[in-house]
């Protein structure tokens, strides 16, 4: 057994394993970027959701309707990095079709209306008998101002409004953030009075996928706007994991994932204060190692960096609950197993369990598994 390092953490460190004595209690995601093409073409997400409620509602009490709608809107329709690969960056030199200045906002708007429609249908037809709850898993970085100047503090606030506020504000306030209305103008869709009433209050809980924190500053030039004309240009901000040449924290394997545990507590308090302390589930949190062919399985199982990551993020999460009063009700580590990580493929290992892709997908517990077991039994 490899040595399992331990780290001090505040007691009691409250973590929830979402399980029952007789087995695992499922938290089911209806859309994780993989809607069947027939449903995409028919534009009938509500019918798909209702089939799931009918088939599984007796066992599933926690439904995550959408996973990371912000990522879908941005990477699918703004920068073209993910399916369906639409954008208009650099005069369509990168993508063959799309409009980065309009399509992300239209896609986001349709996501919000689809979720609200599903929520309304569930509450009218199924909630009384199935006693379940519906929410969304939002992807949320935390933004720290690059400097303590007013202009950068406002930029960090604006960056968060164009990220979480874009998708969460309609469910709590019935409309998009004022900063988006003023900066995007007519390209930002409008809710009718009936739509606003349908959307507001449609969430039973807020799911948060949180991994990292970046510095954010005001974009004082219009170069990005002229070159891109997209949502990043609309924010008027620039976000980077460096300040004065120094990284904001240690980096995981992924080029975007810098380890900043304090961001977890800051983000929880932001959600508490902006949205009047709604129920929160941390639906994803974790870090990845690389998948070097020169690293033996024995060495790959010694994931002390992952243990420290979870310990430090959970310590900050616990503080947000016990000291700040944030209504956090659950935590999911990403991920149980090493898996296919979208554009990173199998080069990225987020799992608590090592998966041997060369030997019939055999699974081996990493040191972090033993750490979690010890933590949960303490």
What are the residues whose beta carbons fall under 8 Å from the beta carbon of 302, sequence distance 6 or more? 2, 3, 366, 367
Beta strands in 272-313 (DSSP E): 280-284, 289-290
Residue 20 phi, psi dihedral angles, 5° rounding = -110, 165
Contact between residue 302 and residue 349 where contact means Cβ atoms under 8 Å apart: no
What are the residues whose beta carbons fall under 8 Å from the beta carbon of 292, sequence distance 6 or more? none
Residue 337 phi, psi dihedral angles, 5° rounding = -125, 150
Q: DSSP string of 20-53?
A: ETTEE--EEEEESS---HHHHHHT-HHHHHHHHH
Side-chain half-sphere exposure of 305, counting CA atoms within 13 A: 17
Catalytic residue among 14, 68, 103, 144: 68
What are the residues whose beta carbons fall under 8 Å from the beta carbon of 29, sequence distance 6 or more? 64, 65, 66, 67, 137
Which tokens is 105 given? Answer: 């906002």
CA distance 364 to 353: 5
Side-chain half-sphere exposure of 138, counting CA atoms within 13 A: 28
Q: Is 64 helix (H, G, I), strand (E, B) or coil?
A: strand
How many C-beta neighbours within 10 Å does residue 290 have?
13
CA distance 329 to 106: 32
Catalytic residue among 103, 161, 284, 341: 284
CA distance 94 to 123: 43
Q: Is 81 helix (H, G, I), strand (E, B) or coil?
A: coil
* 50 among known catalytic residues: no
Whether the bond between 7 and the residue before it is cis, its omega within 30 degrees of 0, is no
CA distance 258 to 243: 13
CA distance 256 to 287: 11
* 193 among known catalytic residues: no
CA distance 11 to 18: 20
Catalytic residues: 68, 284
């Amino acid at each position: 057994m490899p040595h399992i390092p331990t780290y001090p953490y505040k007691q009691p460190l409250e973590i929830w394993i979402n399980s029952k004595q007789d087995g695992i209690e499922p938290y089911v995601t209806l859309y994780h970027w993989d809607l069947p093409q027939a449903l995409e073409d028919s534009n009938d997400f509500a019918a798909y959701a209702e089939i799931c409620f009918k088939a599984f509602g007796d066992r599933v009490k926690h439904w995550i309707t959408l996973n990371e709608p912000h990522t879908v809107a941005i990477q699918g329709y703004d920068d073209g990095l993910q399916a369906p690969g639409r954008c208009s960056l650099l005069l369509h030199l990168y993508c063959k079709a799309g409009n980065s200045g309009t399509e992300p906002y239209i896609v986001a708007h349709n996501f919000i209306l689809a979720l609200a429609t599903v929520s309304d249908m569930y509450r009218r037809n199924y909630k009384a008998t199935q006693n379940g709850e519906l929410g969304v898993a939002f992807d949320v970085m935390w933004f720290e101002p690059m400097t303590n100047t007013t202009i950068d503090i406002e930029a960090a606030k604006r960056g968060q409004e164009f990220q979480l506020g874009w998708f969460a504000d309609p469910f709590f306030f019935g409309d998009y953030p004022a900063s988006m209305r003023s900066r995007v103008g007519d390209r930002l869709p409008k809710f009718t009075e009936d739509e606003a009433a349908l959307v507001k209050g449609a969430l039973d809980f807020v799911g948060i996928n949180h991994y990292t924190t970046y510095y954010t500053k005001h974009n004082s030039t219009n170069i990005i706007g002229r070159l891109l004309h997209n949502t990043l240009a609309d924010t008027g901000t620039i976000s980077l994991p460096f300040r004065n040449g120094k990284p904001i924290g240690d980096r995981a394997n992924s080029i975007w994932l810098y380890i900043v545990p304090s961001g977890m507590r800051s983000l929880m308090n932001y959600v508490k204060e902006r949205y009047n302390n709604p129920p929160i589930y941390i639906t994803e949190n974790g870090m990845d190692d690389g998948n070097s062919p020169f690293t033996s399985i024995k060495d790959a199982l010694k994931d002390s960096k992952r243990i420290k990551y979870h310990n430090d993020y959970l310590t900050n999460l616990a503080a947000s609950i016990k000291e700040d009063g944030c209504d956090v009700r659950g935590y999911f580590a990403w991920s149980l197993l090493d898996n296919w990580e979208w554009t990173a493929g199998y080069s990225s290992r987020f799992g608590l369990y090592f998966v041997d892709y060369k030997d019939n997908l055999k699974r081996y517990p990493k040191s972090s598994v033993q750490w979690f077991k010890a933590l949960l039994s303490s």
